[in-house]
């Protein structure tokens, strides 16, 4: 039976570490600038019903570097989805074409899970509304593992819009698979992490703050996400808060130790470009690691004979 | 000289049956989940000047599974067509790039035929306005052939908007190549099959009905198409008629025998999802067969050395 | 270090002629309808932030015929660029995926040059606003070289909107690398060639005219570009001028000798389709040559072992 990647909750620690080892080997292999030949009979279909660059492109690069075929579903407005076809019918139809993997992004929470119950191939959740983005979490935690040589024991700050972001929830679930993790959620009360996320990470030491300056420990990682203006009913409140959620060298210099800075990208104003030159800035490495981690995931789902 | 697929009228029965045999073999080969290597030096260009999912994707899958290259022209709004280039110039230009096949969908009746007179490669009509969609007819009749082991003698009901649909006309032309075919056209008088279609299928026994319940023979196949609300000047008439053109298990249960149910997809309301579980429901098999039949057609046009 | 193609100014004559010889060999090879295997481990990414057909497709065909992989960035509106990501971040991110070449079109003057300072792979300018389009100039001059067997000594008329067109500037720069070139710029005064272009082609004999009939020498080439209505503040002036800038057989018959007619395409009204049948009409050959010249450029940038 096909395996699916629906939620960061679904992984076991050993499985994650095995995936990281595979990603590390693929990183070395891909750095040789060779196209492997291991996925030559396999087809991956990207279905992005919401705009995307990084996720779509990194899955595409990953599959092509493995030697496989990629077929893009096309932007929603150029497809029959515009004619009013139901999600179920679209998925059934795609399955008829016998791809090996469907990578699905949708505005709707639970879309990937619904798809996985319809199709016979593997489904990978590439973002379902505000709910989850498990492959993002995999590349995020992979990057931490690469920087620190381990994940156990890390103190991670997660900052920005935690309520409506799918990245903070998947990251939290994945970190919770490791030991002695503490997470510091830094957000205005209106945008703090959702209760349903907390209920799924009971073994994590959780701390909540409304400003970065309130964090009283030395963070290993500061994971920044966007604070979206449109989420605020009170625009004056947004203006007042904005400064505390813009990660600049000034803000970082107030910390006792500058943590590894991460961001899922794209960024707008919440992460100043002056930070880019700091050795702690790892967000472009994160983006790069997306290719290796997703290639490792594809290899695992398809049992490919990778290096 | 390059061969073109412009109209379902152009085929001979023997040619169609040979294509079906080839499609059947390719179905077996593709089910092995192997990418064949037979089209490795060939390029197919998809030019969809109107939205499409199924036709574009199934040609893409077909060509990729044959080992060939697919280049998509791009959505009309991102191309120079937006700058006011004429259709003739666009086709001449595409021909300069030397694809082996151009698969063309257009809102304009006769577009594929016009293209075929401009370019030196093969043109496949993937839908030209309300006129024709010959590869759809090929996969439709292939599916009947697969279900019944033959096409001669079938009694086929075709229901919905028959006037403005390109699928009913191409299907009629292709069925007319076989013997002892009877077609029951089921549509409100305003949307009945066009006279020009009937003139081309003189060897078919034609019956017209305004409701499914009027059909007094046991149909082998009921081919459902969409009844488009926007076609009705009188919206009350539409509301009144709608029920008779929604194929539900209730409607089907009134028939003495439930026929094989087909639909070109996408469907909206005209075919209830409750029908999906019936063994007679064959519309997703139809969609799947699209890949095999189109691969067979590509093989034939390019004289590929397929299994 | 990666080489970039930013401006037609950057080339040396010998380099251009070597590229033309390579393009000529690739033309012969591609005419065999074979996909070469020389770029099998290479990835080219097309990033078109402005609509395009010809340039995008011809780079795609070129790379695919060399056996390489093409990944399209996607239309701007379906990507994260829509979320407000900066150009710098988009380029850094793309570079993380390790393409071998980025082919970039942008509305912004200098975009390709900026990109080349950000990324580690080769950048090819596929048009940056009204500034330059160097690969268009390469295929334009290649076509002249093919027709005349040489470029030195050619008398070239360039007609239309010379002020806002990126094609006339790049063409001028590239022609200026050859000897004894004379260029006749034919445009209404408001749309004449820019002073900054003239400053870079001091070894060219430059003549300015407001109408084709004023040109008193026999041109070897007449290069037509579009006169865009929207550039005129005075619409009556546009209507008055339009006739003089529409190349028709009538207009051409007034010349002592009909020159080779070229056009970057797409055309609208400025070049009558009656001209297409003249043996001097070379604009579709130009489009075709785009594939060979761009393939030669890719080969050169990636040091491929082409025929």
ipTM for this model: 0.94
Contact A89 B267 (CB under 8 A): yes
Using 50, 70 and 90 to split pLDDT, how confident is the model at C57? very high
Which two structure tokens, joined as six digits, stand for C66? 């060399």
Q: Does A161 touch chain B (CB under 8 A)?
A: no
- Give percent of chain C with pLDDT exceeding 70: 96
Instruction: Average the pLDDT over B61-81 and give the result.
Output: 85
Q: Which stretch of A248-262, B195-209, C65-79 has the lowest confidence by average pLDDT?
A: C65-79
3-state secondary structure of B260: strand
Contact B100 C33 (CB under 8 A): yes
Residue C32 and residue A28: Cα distance in Å, rounded? Answer: 38
Q: Does C37 touch chain A (CB under 8 A)?
A: no
Q: What are phi and psi of A224, to 5 degrees?
A: -100, 135
Tell me what pLDDT residue B243 has.
Answer: 74
Instruction: Average the pLDDT over C66-87 and give the result.
Output: 80
Residue C158 and residue C263: Cα distance in Å, rounded? Answer: 10
Using 50, 70 and 90 to split pLDDT, how confident is the model at C53? confident
Which two structure tokens, joined as six digits, stand for B125? 């009509």
Instruction: Tell me which residue has tokens 């300056």.
Output: A213
**CB of C134 within 8 A of CB of C174?**
yes
Q: Which of B49, B73, B80, B99 to mutate to test the interface with C (most CBs of C within 10 A)?
A: B80
Q: Do B178 and B54 share a domain, yes or no?
A: no
CB environment C38-66: b (16+ within 10 A), e (fewer): bbbbbbbbbbbbbbbbbbbbbbbbbbbbb
Residue C284 and residue B95: Cα distance in Å, rounded? Answer: 9
Q: Do A121 and A139 share a domain, yes or no?
A: no
- Give percent of chain B with pLDDT exceeding 90: 81
Instruction: Tell me which residue has tokens 């412009």.
Output: B6
Q: Does C120 touch chain A (CB under 8 A)?
A: no
Say if residue B59 is exposed, middle or buried (CB neighbours under 10 Å; 0-12, 13-18, 19+): buried
pLDDT digits (tens, 9 = 90+) for B1-29: 579 999 999 999 999 999 999 999 999 99
Tell me what pLDDT residue C153 has.
Answer: 98
Q: Do B142 and B281 share a domain, yes or no?
A: yes
Using 50, 70 and 90 to split pLDDT, how confident is the model at A77? low
Q: Do C232 and C298 share a domain, yes or no?
A: no
Minimal Cβ distance to A80: which of B34, B266, B288? B266
Q: Does C292 touch chain B (CB under 8 A)?
A: no
Tell me what pLDDT residue A164 has.
Answer: 86
Which two structure tokens, joined as six digits, stand for B244? 């008779």
Tell me what pLDDT residue C50 has.
Answer: 85
Q: Do C197 and C87 share a domain, yes or no?
A: no
Q: What are phi and psi of C219, to 5 degrees?
A: -75, 145
Question: Which residue range forms the structural domain that includes residue A47?
Answer: 8-132+289-302
Q: Does A277 touch chain C (CB under 8 A)?
A: no
Q: Does B273 touch chain A (CB under 8 A)?
A: yes
Q: Does B13 touch chain A (CB under 8 A)?
A: no
Tell me what pLDDT residue C162 has.
Answer: 94
User: Which residues of chain C lie closer than 8 angstroms to A53, CB-CB?
Assistant: 73-74, 79-81, 85, 90, 93
Strand partners, A26: none
Nearest chain A Cα distance for residue B61, angstroms? 7
3-state secondary structure of B216: coil
User: Which residues of chain A lie closer than 8 angstroms to C73, CB-CB?
Assistant: 53, 57
More confident residue, C15 or C235: C15
Instruction: Average the pLDDT over A190-216 and give the result.
Output: 95
Using 50, 70 and 90 to split pLDDT, how confident is the model at B118? very high
Instruction: Average the pLDDT over A159-165 and give the result.
Output: 91
User: Which residues of chain B lie closer than 8 angstroms to C35, CB-CB?
Assistant: 40-41, 69
Query: Is A2 a domain residue?
Result: no
User: Which residues of chain A lie closer than 8 angstroms to B30, CB-CB?
Assistant: 98
Using 50, 70 and 90 to split pLDDT, how confident is the model at C28? very high
Long-range contacts of A246-255 (CB under 8 A, 24+ apart): A246/A270, A246/A271, A246/A272, A247/A159, A247/A212, A247/A222, A247/A271, A247/A272, A247/A275, A248/A272, A248/A274, A248/A275, A249/A274, A249/A275, A249/A278, A251/A212, A252/A278, A254/A213, A255/A212, A255/A218, A255/A219
User: With 70 as the cut, is the pLDDT of residue A82 above it?
Assistant: no
User: Which residues of chain B lie closer than 8 angstroms to A86, CB-CB?
Assistant: 273
Among the listed residues A198, A142, A138, A192, the one whose alpha carbon sits nearest the alpha carbon of residue A165:
A192
B152 Cβ contact partners less than 8 Å away, ≥ 6 residues apart: B178, B179, B180, B181
Residue A88 and residue A95: Cα distance in Å, rounded? Answer: 11
Tell me what pLDDT residue C76 has.
Answer: 65
Q: Does B84 touch chain C (CB under 8 A)?
A: yes
Minimal Cβ distance to C97: which of A35, A51, A57? A57
Q: Does B299 touch chain C (CB under 8 A)?
A: no
| Lateral strand order in the sheet of A69-72 | A69-72, A43-48, A101-106, A122-128
Q: Do C103 and C84 share a domain, yes or no?
A: yes
Instruction: Average the pLDDT over C186-199 and give the result.
Output: 94
pLDDT digits (tens, 9 = 90+) for B167-181: 999 999 999 999 999
Q: Which chains pack against A, by 3+ Cβ pairs within 8 A?
A: B, C
Query: Is A3 a domain residue?
Result: no
pLDDT digits (tens, 9 = 90+) for A26-60: 999 999 988 999 999 999 999 999 888 899 999 99
Instruction: Average the pLDDT over A117-143 and give the result.
Output: 97
Q: What does the radius of gyration of chain A's CA atoms come to, in whole angstroms?
A: 19
Q: Do B115 and B185 share a domain, yes or no?
A: no
Tell me what pLDDT residue C52 has.
Answer: 84
Q: Which of B67, B266, B287 to mutate to test the interface with A (most CBs of A within 10 A)?
A: B266
Contact A85 B52 (CB under 8 A): no
Say if residue A13 is exposed, middle or buried (CB neighbours under 10 Å; 0-12, 13-18, 19+): middle
More confident residue, B74 or C195: C195
Contact C98 A273 (CB under 8 A): no
Contact B51 A93 (CB under 8 A): no
Number of domains forming the structure of chain A: 2
More confident residue, C233 or B106: B106
Q: Does A90 touch chain B (CB under 8 A)?
A: yes
Query: Is B1 a domain residue?
Result: no
pLDDT digits (tens, 9 = 90+) for B218-269: 999 999 998 777 767 788 888 877 777 899 999 999 899 999 999 999 998 8
Q: Which of B48, B73, B92, B97 to mutate to test the interface with C (most CBs of C within 10 A)?
A: B97
Q: Does C35 touch chain B (CB under 8 A)?
A: yes
Q: CATH no. for residue B175? A: 3.40.50.1370
Contact C268 B93 (CB under 8 A): no
The CB density around residue B21, as the number of other CB atoms within 10 Å, is: 12
Tell me what pLDDT residue C79 has.
Answer: 61
Which two structure tokens, joined as six digits, stand for C125? 């300018």
Say if residue B220 is exposed, middle or buried (CB neighbours under 10 Å; 0-12, 13-18, 19+): middle
Query: Is B16 a domain residue?
Result: yes
Q: Which of A61, A62, A126 to mutate to test the interface with C (most CBs of C within 10 A)?
A: A61
Q: Do B200 and B142 share a domain, yes or no?
A: yes
B103 Cβ contact partners less than 8 Å away, ≥ 6 residues apart: B44, B45, B46, B47, B55, B56, B59, B124, B126
Residue A270 and residue C277: Cα distance in Å, rounded? Answer: 60
User: Which residues of chain B lie closer than 8 angstroms to A85, CB-CB?
Assistant: 53, 265-268
User: Which residues of chain B lie closer than 8 angstroms to A302, CB-CB?
Assistant: none
pLDDT digits (tens, 9 = 90+) for A218-230: 999 999 998 777 6
Q: Do B201 and B62 share a domain, yes or no?
A: no
Contact A85 B60 (CB under 8 A): no
Q: Please give the distance of CA B25 from its chain centroid, rounded to a whole number.
A: 20
Q: Do C206 and C236 share a domain, yes or no?
A: yes
Q: Do A145 and A40 share a domain, yes or no?
A: no
Minimal Cβ distance to B35: which of A69, A89, A94? A69
Query: Is B2 a domain residue?
Result: no
Q: Does B239 touch chain C (CB under 8 A)?
A: no
Share the mean pLDDT of chain C: 93
Q: Does C2 touch chain A (CB under 8 A)?
A: no
User: Which residues of chain C lie closer than 8 angstroms to B66, CB-CB?
Assistant: none
Contact B79 C33 (CB under 8 A): no
User: Which residues of chain C lie closer than 8 angstroms to B84, CB-CB?
Assistant: 266, 268
Q: Do B175 and B225 share a domain, yes or no?
A: yes
Minimal Cβ distance to A75: which of C41, C75, C93? C75
Strand pairing report for C155-159 and C182-186:
parallel
Tell me what pLDDT residue A57 has.
Answer: 96
Q: Does B303 touch chain C (CB under 8 A)?
A: no
Query: Is B307 a domain residue?
Result: no
**Among all residues of chain A, which has the CA nearest to that of B49?**
A78
Contact A83 B54 (CB under 8 A): no
| Lateral strand order in the sheet of B69-72 | B69-72, B43-48, B101-106, B122-128
CA dihedral B143, B286, B41, C136 (to 10 degrees): 140
Q: Whats the size of chain B, residue-wise?
A: 307
Tell me what pLDDT residue A76 has.
Answer: 65
Query: Is B46 a domain residue?
Result: yes
Query: Is C307 a domain residue?
Result: no
3-state secondary structure of C128: strand
Instruction: Tell me which residue has tokens 């937006």.
Output: B82
């Amino acid at each position: 039976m096909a395996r699916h990647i629906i939620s960061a909750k679904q992984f076991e620690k050993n499985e994650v570490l095995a995936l990281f080892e595979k990603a590390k080997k693929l990183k070395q292999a891909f750095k040789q600038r060779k196209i492997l030949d291991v996925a030559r009979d396999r087809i991956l279909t990207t279905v992005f019903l919401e705009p995307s660059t990084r996720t779509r492109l990194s899955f595409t690069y990953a599959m092509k570097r493995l030697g496989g075929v990629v077929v893009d579903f096309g932007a929603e407005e150029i497809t029959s989805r515009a004619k009013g076809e139901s999600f179920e019918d679209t998925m059934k139809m795609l399955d008829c074409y016998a791809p090996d993997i469907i990578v699905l992004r949708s505005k709707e929470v639970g879309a990937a899970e619904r798809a996985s119950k319809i199709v016979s191939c593997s489904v990978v959740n590439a973002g379902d509304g505000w709910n989850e983005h498990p492959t993002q979490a995999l590349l995020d935690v992979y990057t931490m593992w690469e920087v620190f040589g381990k994940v156990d024991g890390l103190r991670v700050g997660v900052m920005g819009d935690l309520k409506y972001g799918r990245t903070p929830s998947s990251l939290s679930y994945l970190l919770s698979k490791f030991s002695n993790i503490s997470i510091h959620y830094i957000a205005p009360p209106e945008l703090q992490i959702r209760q349903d996320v907390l209920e799924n990470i009971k073994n994590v030491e959780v701390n909540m703050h409304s400003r970065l300056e309130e964090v009283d420990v030395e963070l290993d990682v500061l994971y920044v996400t966007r604070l979206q203006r449109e989420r605020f009913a009170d625009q004056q409140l947004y203006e007042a808060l904005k400064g505390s959620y813009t990660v600049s060298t000034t803000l970082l210099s107030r910390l006792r130790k500058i943590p590894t800075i991460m961001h899922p990208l794209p960024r707008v104003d919440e992460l100043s470009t002056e930070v880019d030159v700091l050795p702690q800035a790892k967000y472009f490495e994160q983006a790069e690691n997306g290719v290796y981690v997703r290639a490792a995931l594809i290899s695992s789902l398809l049992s490919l004979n990778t290096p």
